[in-house]
Structure 1
């Protein structure tokens, strides 16, 4: 049976400072991705910034994720104003961005693409390279 037929919603963790900003960002949007981000923030375990595990996807993280069709992507998760897909910077207010936030290495999540199809992504790598612009 395909993983796409199940909905994967692993436990996620978000830093306290980012949680407030992400809630505000999601609340200000009206897209399906904003709704998804809001749902993710409501179910996230919120921890003090200093206690966020180093392998957690957060704003500014450089993330490798593998799709269910075995495509490996390498992106940086950013605010909508900093997004530039040609430079590998994806907004947290996109379906993939909202799915990635709070995941840890090894976790998989089901996400709904803009075409309405369910997909699964898995995170094999996370790096905390660029925290600029989200403090």
Structure 2
């Protein structure tokens, strides 16, 4: 699975797309470049039309890695990130990979150590209080 790069179609709500595009364009890190790339290829929909099984800001996401690890995180903006509390910034390699994915989709992402990984989204819960 590591030999092939998986880049499924992603969908992002219009309001979040604008915010994330501006954040990524203003950054200079590899993660910011990755997020910018993801935002440029995303299919943008009105906020109310975003499917509920789509990873968006504030979503609680459970995913499985290609190594078989099961992980659950909440995708947040950088100022809200706290890895010990399971809040992962969208400006990290895994955060940028998660945004816009739907349940059942898999994506290849490059970790900070330079290794390719694959993750598959298993569930998405929209946390109303975070939006």
**TM-score, with structure 2 as normaliser:** 0.98
Q: Secondary structure at the match of 1:5?
A: coil
CA root-mean-square deviation: 0.9
Q: Map 1:107-118 to 2 at 5 A.
A: 107-118=105-116
CA contact (8 A) 1:59 1:131 kept: no
Structure 2 runs not aligned, ≥5 long: none
CA contact (8 A) 1:14 1:46 kept: yes
Counterpart of 1:37 in structure 2 is 35
Alignment partner for residue 63 of structure 1, among 61, 65, 76?
Answer: 61
Alignment partner for residue 74 of structure 1, among 72, 75, 98?
Answer: 72
Give the drift of 1:44: 0.2
Instruction: Give structure 1 regions of 4+ aligned residues with deviation exceeding 4 angstroms.
Output: none
Q: Distance in 1 between matches of 2:30 and 2:128?
A: 27
Q: Secondary structure at the match of 2:108?
A: strand
CA contact (8 A) 1:40 1:98 kept: yes
Deviation digits for residues 26-55 of structure 1 (CA, Å, limit 9, x no counterpart) = 011111110000000000000000110000
The answer to whether residue 117 in structure 2 is matched with residue 119 in structure 1 is yes
Q: Distance in 2 between matches of 1:131 and 1:7?
A: 35
Counterpart of 1:46 in structure 2 is 44
Number of aligned pairs? Answer: 131
Counterpart of 1:21 in structure 2 is 19
Deviation digits for residues 68-103 of structure 1 (CA, Å, limit 9, x no counterpart) = 100000000000000000000000000000000000
Q: Distance in 2 between matches of 1:66 and 1:34?
A: 24
Q: Distance in 1 between matches of 2:83 and 2:69?
A: 16
